Amino acid sequence: MRNSRRPGDGSSRTQGGGTKLGIVRKHFLCLIFFIPLCLGQNYAFGGGTMEILSSAFKDGQKIPIQYVMVAAGGKNLSIPLTWKNAPAGTKSFALSIVDPHPIAQNWVHWLVINIPQNITSLSEGASRKKMPMGATELVNSFGEIGYGGPQPPKGSGEHPYVITLYALNVEKLELGVNTSLAAFKRMIEGKIIQSVSVTGKYER
């Protein structure tokens, strides 16, 4: 049977009874569905806005005592952290915990570089013991490598501890362990794809 076309209907039909326009639409819908699947991990990796959180406290709330320095009555366990939705192109992460209180003057509690791009968390007490392979901890303002918990001067009020995760477009930063916060910031300048922060508070 020959294909039929009514005068003036503006469509051409196939033997299966569908219009060419219908076939085009089907192909378009298939592309919409399959392109994300073909992109695979990169599609999921770049989706949404990057987030960071701690299972120990919510943003703006008090940091529990076990994460405080021993001299202040704590156990000095490094804070558990989890993040997600790293932007596409991320090749590594860097992490800082800084106290910007006027008395503390950007006291560094933790600086970590070269966290692999496939890592999405740091467990409680990971500092010096269970860090991801390749990650490097730098010296904090206490003069020790790794995490140093809150220890604000008594009576100085509530201190904010700003935890910042940086998604970087480089796999590795060449920094010595004694690198200062200022030098750290200069080194990552121009390499940051995205950064996100969560803040815990503590006072004595």
The pLDDT tens digits of the residues spanning 157-203 come to 999 999 999 999 999 999 999 999 999 999 999 999 999 999 999 99
Whether residue 129 sits in one domain with residue 145? yes
Whether residue 188 sits in one domain with residue 112? yes
Whether residue 115 sits in one domain with residue 17? no
Q: Span 123-141, mean pLDDT?
A: 98
CATH number at residue 56: 3.90.280.10
3 domain-assigned:
no
2 domain-assigned:
no
The structure tokens listed for 167 are 């998604």
Whether residue 187 sits in one domain with residue 103? yes
Q: Is 11 exposed, middle or buried (0-12, 13-18, 19+ CB in 10 A)?
A: exposed
Whether residue 149 sits in one domain with residue 66? yes
Global pTM reads 0.78
Whether residue 34 sits in one domain with residue 56? no
* Among 192, 157, 187, CA closest to 175: 187
> Who wins on pLDDT, 22 or 43?
22
pLDDT at 2 over 70: no
Whether residue 19 sits in one domain with residue 91? no
70 domain-assigned:
yes
Full residue range of the structural domain in which residue 30 is found: 12-45
Q: How many domains does the chain have?
A: 2
